[in-house]
Chain A
């Protein structure tokens, strides 16, 4: 083999990416040719340096953040733009998302408007006997009755007119833990 032929295959020879027959020919040539031996050593150095380059690793926290961002931008996009698969659009979950949730929200809004339109007739408000305007607490005579109606740690909205004031107050009462 000629030197220029050998040198054109040196990189593949180093990386073992040539067939055995050609590798044997190059071996034989290298035994006799000092120039190609020097070239081989020079080429090997580059691969050694390239292999020593570290693999970047920003850490587990970053990988998790990245994964979350990608999924938010792809899978999350489906949720926002309603680009759901056909099955999801026509199935029971799809129908619920399309009709039941908006209908329920509309119904609740309607009830809320009735409630705010007639605050005095509200049964919860009937349990409130007085409002201490100097503190943030609400005095309630029928507190037990109210507790029975509500689950623990659920805030109940009460609209009340404070004595001597013109405005109405929206009070959030924690049935178990007082008033906010």
Chain B
């Protein structure tokens, strides 16, 4: 964490509201990205992101070490997202949100293909992997998203999820094995 962010976090803990506003600006996209990937739709991701910042604002006095701010924020967001997933699962509400449905966000492919069939293939592949990720249990899902998609280290993921690194490693292994299996089955079925 660079010194500028450390300074902002310290000022935020001391009650500087401008520093908090700057931290929101710095971290909102990261939190939203994780939430969106976990929940699969814009409305839930928006709720999780806003709630995470409101909660960290309320709990700023609990932040003993300024270096833990990103992890602390991400922990609040992922815990809330997991709660939301479980709450929805209990009520048998699908969290799938296809393109064009309320709350969906138009996404651009990072690797833009020139040919229409390549674009279609890319979209199908992305939809398949997104569906496969959503089939994972919440803890495995968040572990894959944080580590493989968002680039957090195993140590950081362990800190965010409050579990040993061995658990992170184990969850990653199980989740990736499942994803590979589902992708292969899907490939065969096409």
A50 interface residue (CB < 8 Å to B): yes
Q: Which of B53, B57, B130 contacts A53 (CB 8 A)?
A: B130
User: Which B positions have Cβ atoms within 8 angstroms of A?
Assistant: 15, 17, 20-21, 24-25, 28-29, 32-33, 36-37, 42, 45-46, 49-50, 53-54, 57-58, 105, 107-111, 122, 125-126, 129-130, 144, 148-149, 154, 172-173, 176, 179-180, 183-184
Whether the Cβ atoms of B110 and A43 lie closer than 8 Å is no
Asked if A167 lies at the interface with its beta carbon under 8 angstroms from chain B, I say no
Contact A54 B148 (CB under 8 A): no
Given known pairs A46-B183, A58-B42, the reply for A70 and B126 (CB within 8 Å) is: no
Q: Is the CB of A67 within 8 A of B28?
A: yes
- Nearest CB to that of A74 among chain B residues? B57
Q: How long is the Cα–Cα vector from A67 to B183 in the complex, in angstroms?
A: 38
Min CB–CB distance B49 → chain A (angstroms): 7
Closest residue of chain A to B36, judged by CB? Answer: A56
Contacts of A73 in B (CB 8 A): 50, 54
Asked if B15 and A85 make an inter-chain contact with CB atoms under 8 angstroms apart, the answer reads yes
Closest approach, in angstroms, between the C-beta of B17 and any C-beta of chain A?
5
Docked Cα-Cα span, A45 to B182, in Å, equals: 13
Q: Provide the bound-state CA to CA distance between A31 and B53, in Å.
A: 50
Instruction: Please tell me if the beta carbons of A53 and B149 are within 8 angstroms of each other in the complex.
Output: yes
- Across the interface, do B54 and A46 meet the contact criterion of CB distance under 8 Å? no
- Option from B28, B45, B109 in Cβ contact (under 8 Å) with A56: B45
A55 CB to closest chain B CB (Å) equals 6
Contact of A66 among B28, B58, B154, B183 (CB under 8 A): B28
Q: List 16 A-B contacts (CB under 8 A).
A: A42-B184, A46-B180, A49-B129, A50-B129, A52-B109, A52-B110, A53-B149, A54-B126, A56-B32, A56-B33, A57-B29, A57-B105, A71-B20, A71-B21, A74-B58, A75-B20
Chain A residues near B20 (CB-CB < 8 A): 71, 74-75
What is the CB-to-nearest-CB distance from B148 to chain A, in angstroms, rounded to a whole number? 5
Residue contact B21 to A46, C-beta cutoff 8 Å: no
In the assembled complex, which residues on chain B have CB atoms less than 8 Å from the CB atom of A53? 37, 110, 126, 129-130, 149
Q: Are A55 and B21 in contact (CB under 8 A)?
A: no
Q: What 1/0 flags go to A12-46 for Cβ under 8 Å of B?
A: 00000100000000000000000000000011011
Once the chains bind, are B54 and A70 in contact (CB under 8 Å)? yes
B25 / chain A contacts, CB cutoff of 8 Å: 67
| Residue interface mask A60-74, B partner, CB < 8 A = 1 | 000100110111011
Residue of B nearest to A85 (CB): B15
Minimum distance in angstroms from B80 CB to a CB of chain A: 14
- Partner of B105 from the list A11, A58, A70 (CB cut-off 8 Å) is A58
Residue of B nearest to A71 (CB): B21
Which single residue of chain A is at the shortest CB-CB distance from B45?
A: A56
A12 to B: closest C-beta gap in Å: 9
